[in-house]
Structure 1
């Protein structure tokens, strides 16, 4: 599967996104080592170094993972990724997102998603977000950014299964909403 073209840098008001590099491991792990970040996640042990290292290596291999940097301080505050890009279907998913707890409840997630959506809509018409059924925090975040719940599916896991919620954002809706906000 192809990767969505990723810019060398996507700059917002308070955040900068750039492609993840091998040298980012320590700074990103310092964020990911907080067990509370993973409390509502299906991989509750991702705060452990070996588990996170496996995730990090997969993220590097994807060539579509981004590191999130706070512009004022230059501090790494999280990561996100594009995946399941379909040039033919003109769609992509955004996920694997996590932010440091200091960024929860503020504008960081909204700005991160807005920057990623704006970038993606140069190539696609639909962006999908897959959210675990037990991840209430991410479900609320999707509603805040205008994600529309499309459907739910049961996903088989190594141990058991998990209900996933599929949210989508359409380019036309995103552009309409942001033209009103910016006028």
Structure 2
């Protein structure tokens, strides 16, 4: 069995479904707000050309998902499964997540991640997250859902500046026993 990186997932308030070209403008309307990216290492993703490259990469990845509010099917964000190696079958990455600011602090991220993690743990033993070292909002959100910072990190460069991505992870058992484990 192969891990489905573009499932349709439903929660109490959300629908996560495969990203489509038709989602570009609705997502750019959210992503064009510089506040969405202020702590992110790619802090200028609000610029059209930077966002379009991000969106195109997501479409090509085979793991990008649009996040919709269930009540009116309005797109409120984006997330993605990536880094799954069918030969290894033990690890997948969740990331590339952003939500419209009016949905911050309302439990939307936790609800979305609970669903994504439950789906992932049907096939894999570990889920990883990569987050910029100065992206405290995302780091706090990961810790709130039970992700643990590892000692591993990755170095990249963006606009001639060093970018450090910290690696967090949750294992199947940690998820089951953690804050998102028992489904509501």
User: Are 2:116 and 1:116 equivalent residues in the alignment?
Assistant: yes
User: Is 116-125 or 156-165 further displaced after alignment?
Assistant: 156-165
Answer whether contact 2:175 2:181 (CA < 8 A) is retained: no
User: Are 2:65 and 1:66 equivalent residues in the alignment?
Assistant: yes
Answer whether contact 1:154 1:161 (CA < 8 A) is retained: no
Per the alignment, in what secondary structure is the counterpart of residue 94 of structure 2?
strand
In 1, distance between residues paired with 2:51 and 2:20? 15
**Given the superposition, is the C-alpha separation of residues 154 and 176 from structure 1 closer, same or farther in structure 2, using an over 3 Å criterion?**
closer
**Given the superposition, is the C-alpha separation of residues 179 and 75 from structure 1 closer, same or farther in structure 2, using an over 3 Å criterion?**
closer
* TM-score between the two structures when normalised by the length of structure 2: 0.91
User: Are 2:121 and 1:129 equivalent residues in the alignment?
Assistant: no
1:91-131 superposed Cα distances (whole Å, 9 cap, x missing partner): 01100000000111111000111111011111100000111
Instruction: List gaps (5 residues or longer) in structure 2.
Output: none
In 2, distance between residues paired with 1:82 and 1:103? 21
Match of 2:5 in 1: 6
In 2, distance between residues paired with 1:98 and 1:116? 14
**Given the superposition, is the C-alpha separation of residues 182 and 10 from structure 1 closer, same or farther in structure 2, using an over 3 Å criterion?**
closer
Q: CA deviation at 1:55?
A: 0.7
In 1, distance between residues paired with 2:46 and 2:3? 28
User: Are 2:82 and 1:83 equivalent residues in the alignment?
Assistant: yes
In 2, distance between residues paired with 1:4 and 1:182? 21
Q: CA deviation at 1:180?
A: 7.1
In 1, distance between residues paired with 2:22 and 2:127? 29
Q: CA deviation at 1:182?
A: 5.0
**Given the superposition, is the C-alpha separation of residues 154 and 179 from structure 1 closer, same or farther in structure 2, using an over 3 Å criterion?**
closer
Q: CA deviation at 1:24?
A: 0.8
User: Is 109-118 or 155-164 further displaced after alignment?
Assistant: 155-164
* TM-score between the two structures when normalised by the length of structure 1: 0.92
Q: CA deviation at 1:179?
A: 9.1
User: Is 9-18 or 146-155 further displaced after alignment?
Assistant: 146-155
